[in-house]
Structure 1
Amino acid sequence: MRLAFMGTPEFAVKALAELVAAGHDIVCVYSQPPAPKGRGQVLSPSPVHAFAASLGLPVRTPKSMKDADAIAEFQALDIDACIVVAYGQILKKAVLDHPPLGCFNLHASLLPRWRGAAPIQRAIMAGDSHTGVEVMRMSEGLDEGAIILSGRVEITDEDTAQSLHDKLATLGASLLPVALAAIERGGANEQEQSGEVTYARKITPEEARIDWDRPARELDWHIRGLSPFPGAWTTMATGKGEVRVKVLMSRLSDEHSGETPGTLLLGGLKVATGDGVIQILRLQREGKAAQDALDFLNGTDLQPGDRFI
C-alpha cells in the first residue's frame, strides 16, 4: 500500500520501521518541527524525523496541519491510507477524508479508557492492572473512532512509564501490518468503542510533585507512572537551601511508621507516607545524574529524621 505516516516520538519509530519492513511504500513522513534540545538548545529533529531521514524517506514538518497550504500538500499525495502514531497535532476533516481507505491511529490504551495525550503514564498512576494498544479508524473526535485491532499488556509492580512504553511500542508496531492487511482486503472488523470514557490529560509540573500525605500504594503508582519523564519530584533541605529531587523508582514496604509523612527512616532510603512506608530505589538530584538509593545517600548529608517536603 502507498502510505503517509505521521508520528513524532520514539514510540512511533518502531511502527514506522515495521511498516517499511512489511513492504509498504511510505510516500511521505510527517513529524513535528525540529525543537531545541540540550544545554545548547540546538534545533534537533524528532526521533521519527531522524529515523525516516536515515531511510531516505521524504519528511515534512509543518507547524500546523490546519494550515491551508499544509492541507493542500497532503491532498496532493497519491496514497491509499495514512497511519498516525503519536503525531501531536489535530487533523481536520479535509485531511482525514483524503486517503481512499482512511486514516488510522495507533493509540496506547484500551479505548475509551485513557483517550488523549498521556495514556501510558495515566494507566500506571491510576493503578490499572492492564492496558494495551489499539488500531482505530480516525474521526474528528479525540480518539473516538472505531477499533480495528487490539492488544493487551499486563502492568506489573516493576513497570515504569518507560518499560510500559517499550512493551506497547513493540506490540503496537506488530499490530499495524495485520490491521492494514485486513483493511486492504475489506475484511477489517470495526467495532465502536464501548465502556466508561476517561481522559489522559497532559501531566503538569505541579501535578508531578509528590504529596507524601497520600497512601504509600498511590505514591508508588505516581512515582513509577512518571518515570523517567517528567519525573515525580520532591524537595530536600541542604545547607544551601532546598534542592529538587526526582524520584525515579520505588516499591512498597510492609513496614509501618508513626512519623510525619515525608520523614526519612532507618534502613535505606525509606520514607513515611500517609498510611505506611515506601522505599525509594532510584532518584536524581537537580543538575546531577540519576543514582541508586545507596549512592545517593552516600553523596548527601541526609540522616534519619530528615524530611522530604
Structure 2
Amino acid sequence: MRLVFAGTPAAAVPTLRTLALSHEIVAVVTRPDAPLGRKRVLTPSAVAQAAAEMGLPIIKAARLDDDATGRISALRPELGVIVAYGGLVREPLLSTPTHGWINLHFSLLPQWRGAAPLQRALIAGDAEVGVSVFQLVAALDAGDVFAARTVPLPSDANADSALDVLAHDGADLTAEVVAGIADGTATALPQEGEVTVAPKLTLDDGQLDWTLPVDEIYARFRGVTPEPGAHTTVGDLRVKILGASPADGVDVSEAGALAPGVIAATKHSLLIGTATTPLEVTRVQPAGKGAMNATDWWRGFRSDDTLRAGA
C-alpha cells in the first residue's frame, strides 16, 4: 500500500521501520526540530532521524494545517498511519487517504484515551497494559478498534522501559492490521467498556505522597519516570528520585519503624517511611546538582535524624 506515516518520538520508530519492509512510505510526517540539551541545540525528532537514514521523504510540520494537507494529498496515499505524532488530524486530511487513518495507541481502549496512556496505567497500578490499533475519527481516541493486544511487563518496568516493549509489540500489531486493510480482511469493532482518560502529565504528577501505601507510591514512581520525574522535598530542597523500589528483602531493623516521610539510612540503604513498609531509594538528584547515590547524598546533607520527605 501507499502509506503516509505520522510520528515523532522514538516509540514510533519501530512501527515505521516495520511498515517500510512491506509497503511504500510516500511521506513521513513529524514535528519540527526541537532544542535539546543544555545548549538547546536544534535536533531532529527520532522519527525524522530514522526516516532520513531510510531515505524516506520527510514533511516537518508543527500542525497538520492546510499546507501539510495539500502536500500529503498530492501524494495520493491509500492509508495514513499515526503513532504519537503530537498533533490532531482534522478534516479534510482525515479523509484524504483512501482508507482514512489508523492510530497505534499504547493502551487497551477504551481505557486511557489521551496523551499519556501508558504512564497513567502504571500510576493506577493496572494489572494489564497493552496496545490498540483503531480507526482515527474526530473524537479523541474513540474510533472502532481493529486489534488489541495485552503486553506483559516486568514488575519493575518504568514508563520508559515499558514504552519500549509496547512500541515493538505495537509495531507488529499495526503491520498485521495494515496487511488486513490491504487485502480486505480487516474489520474494526466499536469500543466497549469503561472509558478512562489519560491527560498529559505535569510536574505535579511526580510529587510523591508518603502518606500512601508503598505499592501506590512505587506505582506512581514507575509511571512518572523518567518524565516528568518523581520528586519530593526535604526541608526547602526539592529532590528528584531517580531509583527506588519497595524495601522487600532489605533489613529495616536498623531503621526501626518509620512514620510516613521519615528518612533513615541503614548501612547500605536509604529508606523513606510510607503508610505501610518503607520505600528504598537508591539514586537521587538534588535541585541544582547532578545525579548521585542516595546514601551518599543523605550522609552529606543530613542535619538531624528526624527530617521528613515531603515536609
Q: TM-score, normalised by structure 1?
A: 0.91
- Deviation sequence 1:216-269 (CA, Å, 0-9, x none): 2111101111111111111234xxxx3322213322236697544211124221
Residue 10 of structure 2 is aligned to residue 10 of structure 1:
yes
- Deviation sequence 1:46-100 (CA, Å, 0-9, x none): 11111111222111112221x2222222221221111100001011021111111
- Deviation sequence 1:142-167 (CA, Å, 0-9, x none): 11111112221134431111121111
Matched residue SS, 2:221: helix
Partner of 2:285: 284
Decide which moves more: 259-268 or 294-303: 294-303
Whole-Å Cα distance in 2 between the matches of residues 30 and 280 of structure 1? 41
- Deviation sequence 1:242-300 (CA, Å, 0-9, x none): 33222133222366975442111242211012343211233323344434444544664
Q: How does 1:66-77 map to 2 (within 5 A)?
A: 67-77=65-75
- Deviation sequence 1:170-203 (CA, Å, 0-9, x none): 1011112211111111101211100000001111
Residue 306 of structure 2 is aligned to residue 305 of structure 1:
yes
Partner of 2:34: 35
Q: How does 1:195-206 map to 2 (within 5 A)?
A: 195-206=193-204
RMSD (CA atoms): 2.0
Partner of 1:252: 246
Matched residue SS, 2:92: helix
Amino acid in structure 1 at the alignment position of 2:273: A
Whole-Å Cα distance in 2 between the matches of residues 265 and 157 of structure 1? 25
Amino acid in structure 2 at the alignment position of 1:4: V
Partner of 2:23: 24
Whole-Å Cα distance in 2 between the matches of residues 287 and 49 of structure 1? 32
Report the CA distance shift for 1:302/1:246 in structure 2 as closer, same or farther (over 3 A): farther
Whole-Å Cα distance in 2 between the matches of residues 200 and 292 of structure 1? 33
Unaligned runs of 5+ in 1: none
Partner of 1:94: 92
Matched residue SS, 1:221: helix
Amino acid in structure 2 at the alignment position of 1:60: I
Whole-Å Cα distance in 1 between the matches of residues 23 and 297 of structure 2? 49
Whole-Å Cα distance in 1 between the matches of residues 292 and 193 of structure 2? 42
How many residues align structurally? 303
How far residue 26 of structure 1 moved from its aligned partner, in angstroms, is 0.8
CA contact (8 A) 2:30 2:85 kept: yes
CA contact (8 A) 2:6 2:85 kept: yes
Whole-Å Cα distance in 2 between the matches of residues 292 and 225 of structure 1? 21
Q: TM-score, normalised by structure 2?
A: 0.91
- Deviation sequence 1:112-135 (CA, Å, 0-9, x none): 000100011111100001110111
- Deviation sequence 1:1-32 (CA, Å, 0-9, x none): 11100000010011111111x22111101011
Report the CA distance shift for 1:134/1:276 in structure 2 as closer, same or farther (over 3 A): same
Matched residue SS, 1:104: strand
Q: How does 1:231-270 map to 2 (within 5 A)?
A: 231-237=229-235, 242-253=236-247, 259-267=258-266, 268-270=269-271
Report the CA distance shift for 1:292/1:18 in structure 2 as closer, same or farther (over 3 A): farther
Partner of 2:58: 59
Whole-Å Cα distance in 1 between the matches of residues 175 and 125 of structure 2? 31
Partner of 1:273: 274
Whole-Å Cα distance in 2 between the matches of residues 302 and 198 of structure 1? 44
Q: Which consecutive aligned stretches of 4+ in structure 1 deviate over 6 angstroms post-superposition?
A: none
Whole-Å Cα distance in 2 between the matches of residues 301 and 59 of structure 1? 53
Matched residue SS, 2:151: strand
CA contact (8 A) 2:214 2:275 kept: yes
Identity across aligned pairs (percent)? 39
Amino acid in structure 2 at the alignment position of 1:273: T
How far residue 204 of structure 1 moved from its aligned partner, in angstroms, is 1.1
Report the CA distance shift for 1:143/1:302 in structure 2 as closer, same or farther (over 3 A): farther
CA contact (8 A) 2:15 2:175 kept: no
Report the CA distance shift for 1:299/1:25 in structure 2 as closer, same or farther (over 3 A): farther
